[in-house]
A and B are shown apart, each in its own frame.
Chain A
């Protein structure tokens, strides 16, 4: 089957670092995406990993281990505006669609 798991909710403090994990099992793999979705808004692209390792982009970094079916999104120097849902998604070669996890709601507190 196809499955993407990530924690439902996380809480972190402004200025801190938070890591959001994602594990996946899919019939095909063509890269892993992270999207950010603020309440009531459309998801927006954050990162894409297709090779193992860490991709850094400003305060956000994303890691991938294909052998473990595992990824994480690392957010540094948290700001209140980072409070949002973070969606892990896999580009699936077994069909032309991207499969999404249920998302992790991140609450950043002062």
Chain B
């Protein structure tokens, strides 16, 4: 079936505006992750959803960042009052059960540019 789908692929916004990034995981995958990748850097963990459990939000950098996952499928990452340092590629990944011995399937990411 289809892989992990993210939209938009590119987003340019002005400082102070809110943005929403969307992720549609592989059907049947119960675990969903958001990572952030700044230019030339590794992947920074943001948030993890596993089934109906409370999400692991330990990686969210500030209270301007929030995420939800509706119906155990599609997830939205919201950044309020964007700042220039929020500019990065936001990657979503899913895995079948969320066990950390499973490989992650990544989407192509959303390139966010805050002017």
Residues of A within 8 A of B (CB): 4, 30-31, 33, 35, 41-45, 48, 50, 87, 89, 91-93, 95-103, 105
Whether B109 lies near A96 (C-beta < 8 A) is no
Whether A42 lies near B100 (C-beta < 8 A) is no
Whether A95 lies near B56 (C-beta < 8 A) is yes
Report how far A105 CA is from B40 CA in the complex, Å. Answer: 9
**Number of interchain pairs (Cβ within 8 Å):** 65
**A98 — which chain B residues lie within 8 A by C-beta?**
33, 45, 100, 104
**A89 — which chain B residues lie within 8 A by C-beta?**
43
Whether B48 lies near A96 (C-beta < 8 A) is yes
Residues of B within 8 A of A (CB): 4, 31, 33, 35, 40-45, 48, 50, 56, 58-59, 91, 98-109
Which single member of B41, B42, B100 contacts A96 (CB below 8 Å)?
B100
**Known A31-B100, A96-B48; 14 more pairs at CB < 8 Å:** A30-B99, A30-B100, A33-B103, A41-B108, A42-B107, A42-B109, A43-B104, A45-B103, A92-B100, A96-B98, A97-B100, A100-B35, A100-B45, A103-B42
Task: Kindly provide the distance from the CB of A33 to the nearest chain B CB, expressed in whole angstroms.
Answer: 7
Report how far A103 CA is from B109 CA in the complex, Å. Answer: 17
**A4 — which chain B residues lie within 8 A by C-beta?**
42
**B59 — which chain A residues lie within 8 A by C-beta?**
97
